[in-house]
Amino acid sequence: MPLTKKLLAEFIGTFWLVLGGCGSAVLAAAFTGGKLTDQIPFPLGIGLLGVSLAFGLTVFTGAYALGHISGGHFNPAVSFGLWAGKRFPGSELLPYIIAQVLGGILGAGILYLIASGKPGFAIDATAAGVFATNGYEAFSPGGFSLLACFVAEFVLTFIFLIVILGATDHRAPAGFAGSAIGLALTLIHLISIPVTNTSVNPARSLAPALFVGGTPLSQVWLFWLAPILGAIAAGFLYYNFFEHPRRVDALDEVASIR
């Protein structure tokens, strides 16, 4: 598959992840319509559970639609993890990340255009989780510390990559990888939305933060560092401890040729 086609697939997939996942948080999480009484609006929002499911569905649908073209990373941390697990060539790492970041920014831009069409829309850069941004300490939805947020992002990305590497292993049941990966991302959000608003994806974190600025943007470094380190650790562990010995030999031979 030509690299240009792979990059376009990664661009579209990351665009969809940010628009679908962050869009559900910004537009639908706390939506109300009609009234229970004259003073109390009727709650129609999807809440934490709905947002978690929305993020999982973006990966689920994107993996089946585009995974056969680019591998369906849609996430710089996933690309790093697959590279560390010797499932992805280092020569394509930077182009993939650029495509993912640009796709995420477009997704956040479209979301901003839609959200700003509502009267009274405004972004308060001093509020935790505003415009689906990630943060720690005062900008963590639950006020969690920097260390707690780092640990959550590192560990949950580590597990996410273990699921990805295991579900796409040639020994795993064929055809179910997208389901396992999408459900894993849903579970990750159910755990960590109160902690960091859930990143495990540097492109997803950077995109909305660019439209908010201020502290949310200055804290994005954590949501690059922790997920990438967690992903690399998972890739290293899976390759060295879980990969089939014959496949390891074959991958080493290919790597030596490159």
Quick one: pLDDT at residue 103? 98
pLDDT tens digits, 203-227: 999 999 999 999 999 999 999 999 9
pLDDT at 182 > cutoff 70: yes
pLDDT at 233 > cutoff 80: yes
CB 100 within 8 A of CB 73: yes
d(CA 198, CA 207): 14
CB 85 within 8 A of CB 22: no
Single-letter amino acid code for the residue at 257: I
pLDDT at 258 > cutoff 60: no
pLDDT tens digits, 154-171: 999 999 999 999 999 999
d(CA 101, CA 226): 17
The structure tokens listed for 122 are: 């405004």
pLDDT at 114 > cutoff 60: yes
Question: Which residues touch 5 (CB under 8 Å, ≥6 apart)?
Answer: 69, 70
Quick one: pLDDT at residue 245? 73
Region 236-246 average pLDDT: 89
User: Binning pLDDT at 50, 70 and 90, where does residue 229 land?
Assistant: very high
Query: Per-residue DSSP letters for 156-168?
Result: HHHHHHHHHHHHT
pLDDT tens digits, 25-60: 999 988 877 665 566 676 778 999 999 999 999 999
pLDDT tens digits, 72-100: 999 999 999 999 999 999 999 999 999 99
Quick one: pLDDT at residue 45? 85
Q: Which domains are seen in the chain, by residue range?
A: 3-121+128-257 (1.20.1080.10)
pLDDT at 253 > cutoff 50: no
Residue-averaged pLDDT of the chain: 93
